[in-house]
Amino acid sequence: MLVAAAVCPCPPLLVPEVAGGAAPELEDARAHCADALGVLAAARPDRLYVVGPAPEGARGAFPAGSTGSFAGFGVDLAVSLGQGPGGRTLPASLAVGAWLLSRTDRPGAPGASVAGFGVDERATAEECAEAGRRLAASAERVALLVMGDGSACRTVKAPGYLDERAAGFDAEAARALGSADVPGLLALDAGLAYELKAAGRAPWQVLAGAAEGTGLGGRLLHEEAPYGVEYLVAVWS
C-alpha cells in the first residue's frame, strides 16, 4: 500500500556538477526536493520505488544496485540505486532520482528495499495507473519518488519553443499534484503532454494509480519554469 510519495523534477541540471556555473539557479528546487525526500523518510516504507520517464530499452523494473552515469553530460559521476546486484543501466530520470537519494538519509525502515521503474512517455493513463497499482501492492508500506517535468514549451527559448497551451497544462498538473487529485492526474491528456514534451505526465499517472483509495493528502512545495521547462515538487502523505 502506498504510504507516501515525493514528486521531483528530473533534469540532469539538478545535479550541480552537470549544471556547472548555472548550479545556483536551481538551488531552491534542490532544497525543496530534499524536503520532499524527508517526507518519504518519515513514512518509513518497506519498499521505495523511483519512477521516471524512460526511452525504449530502459523501461520496466530496475533492481536494487542498478547504476547510472552522467558521463553523457560531460561529468564523470556515477550513481547507484540502493544496494543490490543491479544488472541494468538507469535512464537519466532514474539516475537523477538516485542522485537525490544519495544526498539524504536513506528513506525507509531498516532493511527497506529500493528499486526503480521506467515508464514509456506514450503509455496510456490506464497503463500507467495499472503499473502504479502493481507497485503499491508489492509491499505493506510502499513509497514512491516520482521523477518528471512539466511542459518544455513555456518560452520561445524553451526546448519545445513557446506553445500557448503549456501554461494551462502545467497549472492543472500543479493543482492536481498539490491536492493529491487522483482523477485530475488521470485526466491529463497523454497526447497533449507528448506534444508539450511534458515527461512527467506518465510517472504522475503511475502515482495516481498507486494512490487510489489511500486518502493521501498533497502539498505543492515548489513550482518554477526556468529555461522554459516546468519544474514541480510536491509531497503526498
- What's the rounded Cα separation, in Å, for the pair 120 and 127? 10
pLDDT for position 107 = 62
Task: Reply yes or no on whether the pLDDT at 97 is more than 80.
Answer: yes
Confidence of residue 76 (pLDDT cuts 50, 70, 90): very high
pLDDT for position 82 = 85
Biggest CA–CA distance in the chain, Å, is 48
Q: Per the structure, how many domains does the chain have?
A: 1
pTM summary value: 0.96
pLDDT for position 108 = 58
Task: Reply yes or no on whether the pLDDT at 21 is more than 90.
Answer: no
Dump pLDDT digits (tens) for 128-143.
999 999 999 999 999 9
- What's the rounded Cα separation, in Å, for the pair 63 and 226? 33
Domain encompassing residue 25? 2-236
Length of the chain as a residue count:
237
Q: Give the residue ranges of DSSP H helices in 179-222.
A: 182-186, 190-195, 201-211
**CATH code at position 99:** 3.40.830.10
Task: Reply yes or no on whether the pLDDT at 88 is more than 90.
Answer: yes
Task: Reply yes or no on whether the pLDDT at 110 is more than 80.
Answer: no
Dump pLDDT digits (tens) for 38-68.
999 999 999 999 999 999 989 999 999 999 9
Task: Reply yes or no on whether the pLDDT at 114 is more than 80.
Answer: yes
Dump pLDDT digits (tens) for 135-166.
999 999 999 999 999 999 999 999 999 999 99
